[in-house]
Amino acid sequence: MKKAIFLFFILINSITYSQSDSFDDVREVVSLVSDNIYMISSVDGPIAGNIGVFVSKDGLIVIDDQYEINEGKILNAISEISTLPIKLIINTHFHFDHSDGNKAFGKLDIPIYAHKNVRKRLNRNSVLFGSNTLMEKYPEEALPSLTYSSLMSLHDSGEEIQLYNFGKGHTDGDTVIFFKNSNVIHAGDSFVTYGYPYVDLNNGGSFKGFLNILNMIISLSDNNTKIIPGHGPVSDINDVIKFRDIVREHINKTIQGFSNGNSLNEIIYSIKSSFEGDRTKEDFVKAIIFDLKND
């Protein structure tokens, strides 16, 4: 029953850009990103983060794991890619739509790596900014077993996998994963394509930090880099630059307007760019102002 209440909470509080809110209809769709890297996207269900899969010589490294309830469908999708076992999971951050699957895969004794603040936040109850969404403390086996602070490199099957934390951004525990030789990035929710991004100000997020991380993703990338967003189709550096420019205009104009004592409407009017999506410009600017007041 507790579980049903929690799921109900997710459903009423998430941004839904898919057709259905039921997990029954979820399909997990596999796409090839580069030679040995794939993306698995959840469609026709509640919002869920993109999964990245790296195929090494002796096992799979999986980035993010959506929901425990999707375990069977995720494993089916993974079996389309390879019959090798999952040897490691990396969480890009602690939000449930990227990490709830830890509860399923942790039980299988698969090690989970993440930034140290992911473990800290999953090890207690958290309420996400701007919603009533309660994330209950995860059981021990669903917590990351290996954590890092600012940079960690994994060397596997000729690939160098770099895990970067660039400080506060979407949360205070975001990892940008760069497959250096394959030239592929998994950006987590530091880059999304559904419109106005979400910054979790209850859990260490920061708008200035969010902008900084976008600049870091751009500086890691060249014209051939494939960028897996937290949500949305595989993108490239130009998509991130366009996204960064819009985010930057909103943040800079809001800082300027706020320090000049302008009204909310004046600030909104001064911002020429905008995103299409469920979240409004007004909500985004209000959140930036909230962040400035608490800075």
Residues that bind Zn ion in the complex, under the rule CB under 5 A: 95, 189
For 59, counting Cβ atoms within 10 Å of its Cβ (0-12 exposed, 13-18 middle, 19+ buried), the class is middle
Amino acid code (one letter) for 104: A
CA dist list (Å): 195 to 144, 191, 259, 271: 30, 10, 26, 15
In angstroms, give the least distance from the CB of 13 to Zn ion: 13
In angstroms, give the least distance from the CB of 93 to Zn ion: 6
Q: 95 vs 253, which CB is nearer to Zn ion?
A: 95
Q: 92 vs 147, which CB is nearer to Zn ion?
A: 92
Q: 49 vs 106, which CB is nearer to Zn ion?
A: 49
Q: H or E segment at 40?
A: strand 37-43
- C-alpha–C-alpha distance, residues 20 and 26, integer Å: 8
Which has the closest alpha carbon to 187: 90, 254, 281, 109? 90
In angstroms, give the least distance from the CB of 269 to Zn ion: 30
In angstroms, give the least distance from the CB of 205 to Zn ion: 9
SS (H, E, C) 169-238: CCCCCCCEEEECCCCEEECHHHCCCCCCCCCCHHHCCCHHHHHHHHHHHHHHCCCCCEEECCCCCCECHH
In angstroms, give the least distance from the CB of 171 to Zn ion: 7
Q: 71 vs 189, which CB is nearer to Zn ion?
A: 189
Q: 95 vs 226, which CB is nearer to Zn ion?
A: 95
**Residue 255, number of CB atoms within 10 A of its CB:** 18
